[in-house]
Chains A and B, each alone.
Chain A
Amino acid sequence: MAREQHDYDDIPGTYVFDQDRSRQGFGINMFCMSLMKDENRKAFKANEAEYLKKFNLTPEQADAILKRDYNRMLELGGNIYFTAKLGATDGHSFRHLAATMTGSSQDDYANMMLAGGRSVEGNRSKSGKVAKPVKAAKKPAKKPAKRPAKAKAKPRSKSRSKRG
């Protein structure tokens, strides 16, 4: 079954670690947790593919891990706080991983952060539907005054569209 779509799938360059990804990525994240122990880090480093057999991973997931394709790991249900443990096993910091996932060089990424980070402008929405910040939700409207008018207005517009 295809992935159920959510409103946040419209955010570009982002894999939200939701319940469905968590379900799929359990093996990836449990593998990453195992790297909290030094003996496991050593065993993994000694023979990566063999070590991965201990976990319930799909071939795609194992492949993403072996290739250190961090974006793919997230897409297949890994979470950054877990995959960061794989990064740490390789001697990399969060910032190093972040740069890798954005496809920039370490220097370029560091400079972008020093200059104030990636702007949200142009990075809000894949569909382009949300170009500006959505105004903070208003206080729950005081209904009574406007309700009767609205109720009347609706059927009218419907009938109009039917005629059209």
Chain B
Amino acid sequence: MARIIAGVSSSHVPAIGAAIDNKQTEEPYWKRVFSGFEKSKEWMAQAKPDVVILIYNDHASAFSVEMVPTFALGCAAEFPPADEGWGPRPVPVVKGHPQLAAHIAQSVILDEFDITVVNKMEVDHGLTVPMNLLFGSPKEWPCPVIPVAVNVVLYPPPTGHRCFMLGRAIRKAVESYPEDLRVVVFGTGGMSHQISGPRAGLINSKFDKAFLDNLTKDPKKLTRIQHLEYMREAGAEGIEMVMWLVMRGALEDKVDEVYRFYTVPASNTAVGHIILEPHRRVAKKAAGKTKKAAGKMKRAAARAKTAVRRSR
């Protein structure tokens, strides 16, 4: 059975990609940003996922105003980097996992998510920048990627709650896939930023930090944030953060925050990053492999605790 071993989120600022491509990562401005991902790369090298499901948005590359799918699932065997106006980024072609993607499509549609199936698509910085941040710049990406494109460009994007529920549906789909695969779900975009209009440059670190806190502790609270509030508090383009909730929905309710990084700015944007793993520590120590056994052990542990308290 396939399972989700972790959730990761990070911003996908295009200027970060440009800094990598132009070899500016050692300049002080950019070093501040990239140093925050050193530990994450180590973590990813250890986690060794078999597949990454990457939630991102297209920026007028694969989808123009001619067609705007709210949720689109990349089911192709490969996704070439898009030419965003200055030539395609010099990054490897992203290899897909058509079999798992087909399984996910079949599962989530019957789960009432009317997702658009995409069998030919180029991917832009929204997908490739986060890949660089977590995998560095290898000759080939170390694992296949299933892109999930969310419309956050044309208002209204799907609600945070809807995104969270899509995450749930994706988890259900993954867990019903027969092959043993270790899957990481990757949410991207944000954090607070506005790049359009006279209010451009808006950053709200307070909002971002609360968002990161609640992503771990109380994601349901985040699902109640309205679009108006995202745009008002986190900038017109900060609304992208709903995509992080797809990632969060794909995880269990209780998670452990393994790592977090936050810095302002990268170009116009607050850069945020978090790694979450399912909360399994206690169960892992005590229990056998099945859920039932874990439950038993938890109950036993609880009994033991109360016994200790009583004896005091």
Q: Verify if A82 is at the interface (C-beta below 8 Å from B).
A: yes
The interface-forming segment of B104-112, B137-145, B201-209, B244-252 is B201-209
Q: Verify if A13 is at the interface (C-beta below 8 Å from B).
A: yes
Q: Verify if A5 is at the interface (C-beta below 8 Å from B).
A: no
Contact check, A30 vs B204: say whether CB atoms are below 8 A apart: no
Contacts of A13 in B (CB 8 A): 197-200
Most chain A CB inside 10 Å of its own CB: which residue of B65, B83, B84, B224: B65
Least distance between B63 CB and chain A CB atoms (Å): 10
Contact check, B15 vs A95: say whether CB atoms are below 8 A apart: yes
Q: Verify if A68 is at the interface (C-beta below 8 Å from B).
A: no
Contact check, B228 vs A7: say whether CB atoms are below 8 A apart: yes
Residue of B nearest to A101 (CB): B200
Residue of A nearest to B265 (CB): A113
Q: Verify if B14 is at the interface (C-beta below 8 Å from A).
A: yes
Q: How large is the interface on B (under 10, 10 to 19, 20 to 34, 35 or more residues)?
A: 35 or more
Interface residues of B in 44-71 (CB under 8 A from A): 59-60, 64-66
Contact check, A109 vs B201: say whether CB atoms are below 8 A apart: yes
Contacts of A71 in B (CB 8 A): 197-198
Q: Bound complex: CA of A99 vs CA of B236, how far in Å? A: 16
The interface-forming segment of B153-161, B283-291, B304-312 is B153-161
Q: Verify if B226 is at the interface (C-beta below 8 Å from A).
A: yes
A residues contacting B by CB (< 8 A) are 7-8, 11-19, 22, 25-26, 29-30, 32-33, 35-36, 71, 74, 79-82, 85, 88-89, 93-95, 97-99, 101-103, 109, 112-114, 116-120, 123-125, 130, 133-134, 136-137, 139
A and B contact pairs by CB, cutoff 8 A, 5 listed:
A102-B198, A113-B267, A116-B205, A120-B203, A136-B229
Q: Which 3 A-B pairs have the closest CB atoms?
A: A117-B203, A13-B199, A13-B198
| 19 further contact pairs, Cβ within 8 A, besides A79-B60, A119-B202, A120-B202 | A13-B199, A30-B64, A30-B66, A33-B64, A33-B65, A71-B198, A79-B65, A81-B60, A82-B65, A94-B15, A94-B268, A113-B203, A113-B265, A117-B202, A117-B203, A118-B202, A120-B232, A120-B233, A137-B226
